[in-house]
Structure 1
Amino acid sequence: MELQGSTFTLRGWFDGDEESLQKHADNPKVSAFLLDRFPYPYSLSDAITWVAFMKKQATQTNFAIAIDGQVCGGIAVDMKVDANHNEAEIGYWLAETYWGRGIITEAVQLLTRYAFETFGIIRVQAGVFGKNTASMRVLEKAGYVKEGIMRNALIKKGVVMDKHLYAILKPE
């Protein structure tokens, strides 16, 4: 499955993506506001493990952001279960070289539309680190609305931060 943006493609993960993934992910500014499961430093071994894991996706929910054939970021929806089975959580990152170009906003819009159309969900949400104002702007430009602030909900490198909750509902 591929989703075409104006200057990028959202696509699956392939053998050969490891070097560009490692190159673009190995940046402290990229990992600063991501969950701790996103390693820093980001080694080639991390990239090899990730690509191998992603190639086994039964249902595609995690996409590489490819620009000129190189992996420059990632974006995914995490499908919820149980009483939350009609919602997903979106997460993303992009190489610093490409920040400020509207790429991630467009990618969020593409993946959100894909999630609504493909999975029959009615809500997509995102939790944003309180100091990540750039990501908040991305979500707002993509049509998401801030629903609230969860105080002292996150800790990154010993710093306690609020978590801002954004969401978008399926258009009726």
Structure 2
Amino acid sequence: MDQLILFSKFPFVQTSEITLRKIEKSDLDELYSIYSNENLFKYRPGEVKRNKSTVENMISHFERDFGKKKTIFLGICLNEDLKRIIGIAEIFDFDTKVNMATIGYTLNEDYWGHGFATKTVEALRDYLLNTIGINRVQAFVMPNNIKSKNVLERNKFTKEGTIRQGAVWKGNGVIDLDLYSFLKSDL
């Protein structure tokens, strides 16, 4: 894992259809529409945000967490409008000894069912494996989140098993999680 490249500046990952880029203050309205949607928090950690000022503070926390080399939050954009985010991609839980990272993704509900989550996971996976030199990319999914499991399976991730009552997700309590992974050797 080349942390010098990974944390030298916010990643800018562009494919033929989507771009993953730094989240800016100007993204507040789109970010708020994501974080204030109760449907999105059925299957992700955290709680619905009730006011824009909370979400605005999160943007500066994204910058802080990047500076601490802790988590990378990226806006997901369609290439025809890079100023408007349709979702959030996350890279976190870096382990340099194992050479791995965990990914997460959340799309604005208006963009569900169009393949953008699948394209986001593909972009994250390829960026981490090919540009950063990660060996293992993993993702955790609640067992009843069928759509997200399908996204990972379309990207050739392997289900390793279920971690039973092994995590606490704020807003969801103690939960089961399915663990999926993709290794560089799987390419």
Superposition TM-score, scaled by structure 1 size: 0.86
- Residue 114 of structure 1 aligns with an amino acid whose one-letter code is Y
Show the counterpart of 2:112. 99
Per the alignment, do residues 154 and 131 of structure 1 end up closer, same or farther by CA in structure 2, a change over 3 Å counting? farther
In 2, Cα distance between equivalents of 1:95 and 1:112:
21
Aligned length: 169
- Residue 106 of structure 1 aligns with an amino acid whose one-letter code is K
Per the alignment, do residues 155 and 14 of structure 1 end up closer, same or farther by CA in structure 2, a change over 3 Å counting? closer
**How far does residue 72 in structure 1 lie from its aligned partner after superposition?**
1.7
Native 8 Å contact 2:28 2:52 kept in 1: yes
**Could you tell me the percent identity over the aligned residues?**
30
1:31 to 31, 41, 44: 41
In 2, Cα distance between equivalents of 1:8 and 1:102:
11
- Residue 63 of structure 1 aligns with an amino acid whose one-letter code is L
* Structure 1 SS opposite 2:25: coil
Show the counterpart of 2:140. 127
* Structure 2 SS opposite 1:55: helix
Note the 1:106-117 alignment, pairs <5 A: 106-117=119-130
- What CA deviation, in whole Å up to 9, does each residue of 1:31-55 have, x standing for no partner? 111112xx31353122211212223
- What CA deviation, in whole Å up to 9, does each residue of 1:123-153 have, x standing for no partner? 0111111111111000000110101111223
**How far does residue 160 in structure 1 lie from its aligned partner after superposition?**
5.2
If each structure's helix is expressed as a fraction of its own residues, which one has the higher value? 2
Show the counterpart of 1:137. 150
In 2, Cα distance between equivalents of 1:78 and 1:124:
10
RMSD: 2.3
In 2, Cα distance between equivalents of 1:164 and 1:145:
10
**How far does residue 154 in structure 1 lie from its aligned partner after superposition?**
4.1
1:65 to 47, 51, 76: 76
* Structure 2 SS opposite 1:112: helix
In 2, Cα distance between equivalents of 1:158 and 1:87:
26
